[in-house]
Amino acid sequence: MKSKSSNKGLAAAQRRTSLIYMAPACILITVFILLPFILSVYYSFTNKMLVPKAGKSTEFVGFANYIKVFTNSATAKSFVNTGIYALMVVPAIIILGTLLAVFVNKPLKGVKTFRAIYFSPQIVTMTVVAVVWSFILSPNDTGIMNSLLSKFGIPAQSWLQDSRLALFSIAIMYIWQTLGMEMLIILGGLQYIPLEVYEAADLDGCSGVQRFVRITVPLLKNTMVYVMLSVTINTLKLFTQVYMLTNGGPKNATTSVIYQLYKVGFMNNQQGFSSAIAVVFFVIVLGISLLQNYLMRDK
């Protein structure tokens, strides 16, 4: 039995240790996440410039920056582009990722090696992925992708230089890089389903399709929601391919939200406007995160 005074001493020791051990991470998070976030909200209501000009003071402008987010055509387009990009990437990853996961979930010899191979693009950084794929998607007739497609009678495309295909080209790069990883996450969910459930279903004479629809899909729900929403949030952060390859072009076809807030704030010096873009972006991400919590709540 511990005496009351030693219990008190232990509580004090825990407080002391916690204070010291929590401090470094908490200070860093306060200075580099919380503070920038509060400043973003604050500056979004001002006309603050990143590099102040002489004689122009920072003033409150109300909701002017927020109105501009929706009326400035390049900025509004950046939100639309980012949404379209997510709509191209997320369903592709969910469908192909699930098919792949089911396909590699077999007790065959060497299947683990194939899983590792499918995952391997994930270790190539996006900057490199973007550059390599920009060569694969060369616009001339002899480009790798164009030569391949010509075998199927599809004429040569200009890919990244074509305003209708540029965003699609960028989506292909991301799908190629991430598909294997999402496949592994879905596979983790599949293997989490106890085998007995399937055995019971077999005894009841379930067909393969019934098994998939009645057992796999419902029991995989949490994994799927996680994959769907984490991929969505990741796609909304689109920046690297745009900055590496297109700078938002052609004709703003690939301007993404993050690229736009970088350009507006850093290149055009409009910190207030850029902060408003950041806040709108944050609200969208917050909404998706809340949706995830709602869908994944325990019943």
Partner 1 sequence: MKAENETKRNIKLAVDYGLYTLIACVFVLPIIYMFVSAFKTDAQIVSDMSTVKAFLPTGKLSFDNFVAIVDQVKFFRFFKNSALVTLLNVSLATILNAMAGYCLGMLDFKSKKTIISLIIALSIVPSEAVVLNKFMIVNKLGMINSLLGLAIPSVGYPMFIFLYYNHFKGMPKELVEAAIVDGETYGGVFWKIMLPLSKPVLATVTIMGFIRSWGDLLWPTLVTRDETWRTLPLALRALSTDVYIYWGQIFAFSSLMTLPVLILFLVFQKQFIASVTSSGIKG
- 160-179: contacts with partner 1 (CB under 8 A): 176, 179
- Residue 244 C-beta: closest distance to partner 1, Å: 6
Helical residues (DSSP H) of 193-220, grouped into ranges: 195-203, 208-211, 217-219
d(CA 168, CA 244): 16
- Residue 125 C-beta: closest distance to partner 1, Å: 3
Residue 6: CA count within 13 A, CB half-sphere:
3
Nearest in space to 162 (alpha carbons), one of 254, 99, 66:
254
Count of residues engaged in binding partner 1, rule: CB under 8 A: 102
| CB-count burial class (<10 Å; 0-12, 13-18, 19+) for 169 | buried
Which residue lies nearer to partner 1 by CB, 50 or 201?
50
Q: Please check whether residue 276 is in contact with residue 47, taking contact to mean a CB–CB distance below 8 angstroms.
A: no
Interactions with partner 1, residue window 140-159 (CB under 8 A): 141-144, 147
Q: Please check whether residue 198 is in contact with residue 105, taking contact to mean a CB–CB distance below 8 angstroms.
A: no
- Draw the binding track, 13-32, toward partner 1 (x: CB under 8 A; -: no contact): xxx-xxxxxx-xxxxxx-xx
Interactions with partner 1, residue window 212-231 (CB under 8 A): 222-223, 226-227, 230
- Draw the binding track, 274-293, toward partner 1 (x: CB under 8 A; -: no contact): xx--x--xx--xx--x----
Q: Which of 168, 198, 212, 262 binds partner 1 (CB under 8 A)?
A: 262
Interactions with partner 1, residue window 183-202 (CB under 8 A): 184-189, 191-192
φ/ψ (deg, to 5) at 45 = -100, 10
φ/ψ (deg, to 5) at 58 = -80, 125
Residue 181 interacts with partner 1 (CB under 8 A)?
yes
Residue 95 interacts with partner 1 (CB under 8 A)?
no
Residue 120 interacts with partner 1 (CB under 8 A)?
yes
